[in-house]
Amino acid sequence: RKEVEQDPGPFNVPEGATVAFNCTYSNSASQSFFWYRQDCRKEPKLLMSVYSSGNEDGRFTAQLNRASQYISLLIRDSKLSDSATYLCVVNLYTGGFKTIFGAGTRLFVKA
C-alpha cells in the first residue's frame, strides 16, 4: 500500500463548480500535512497547510481527520486558473524525518 494515496482523476468540472479532493495516508506517525499545486512542467508550490481544526483560505478549504487518516481539499467557485494537479503531502517522523508526496489529482476547469 502506498504511504499517501490520491484519486488520480482527472476531474473535469465547469467554471463555478465545487470540487473535492481526498487523500489517505497509511502511517499514523504522520505529523504535518499540506496541499500543493503543480502546473504543467513546473515545480510544485504550496497551496495551504492542513490543520487539525480545518482551515480555509478564500475559496479553498482543507480538512484533516486523524482518526481516519484522511485529508481533503475543497475548491468552491472553480476558476479556469484552478486547472492544475493537486498534490497531497505528508511529513512523517519514524526515527528519521521525511516528506512524502501523493501522486496528485488532475483538475480541468472548463468554461
Partner 1 sequence: DGGITQSPKYLFRKEGQNVTLSCEQNLNHDAMYWYRQDPGQGLRLIYYSQIVNDFQKGDIAEGYSVSREKKESFPLTVTSAQKNPTAFYLCASSIVAGGYGTEAFFGQGTRLTVV
Q: Which residues contribute to the site for partner 1 (CB under 8 A)?
A: 31-32, 34, 41-46, 49, 87, 89, 91, 93, 96-104
Q: Which is nearer to partner 1, 78 or 102 (CB)?
A: 102
Q: CB of 77: closest distance to partner 1 in angstroms?
A: 25
Q: CB of 31: closest distance to partner 1 in angstroms?
A: 6
Hey, how many other C-beta atoms are within 10 angstroms of the C-beta on 76? 14
Please enumerate in sequence order all residues whose Cβ is within 8 A of that of 10, keeping only pairs 6 or more positions apart, or say none. 105, 106, 107, 108
Overall size of the chain counted in residues: 111
Q: Which is nearer to partner 1, 74 or 100 (CB)?
A: 100
Q: Which is nearer to partner 1, 3 or 17 (CB)?
A: 3
Q: CB of 94: closest distance to partner 1 in angstroms?
A: 10
Q: Which is nearer to partner 1, 79 or 98 (CB)?
A: 98
Alpha-carbon span 11 to 4, nearest angstrom = 19
Helix%, strand%, coil% for the chain, nearest 5:
5, 60, 40
C-alpha cell at 18: 465545487
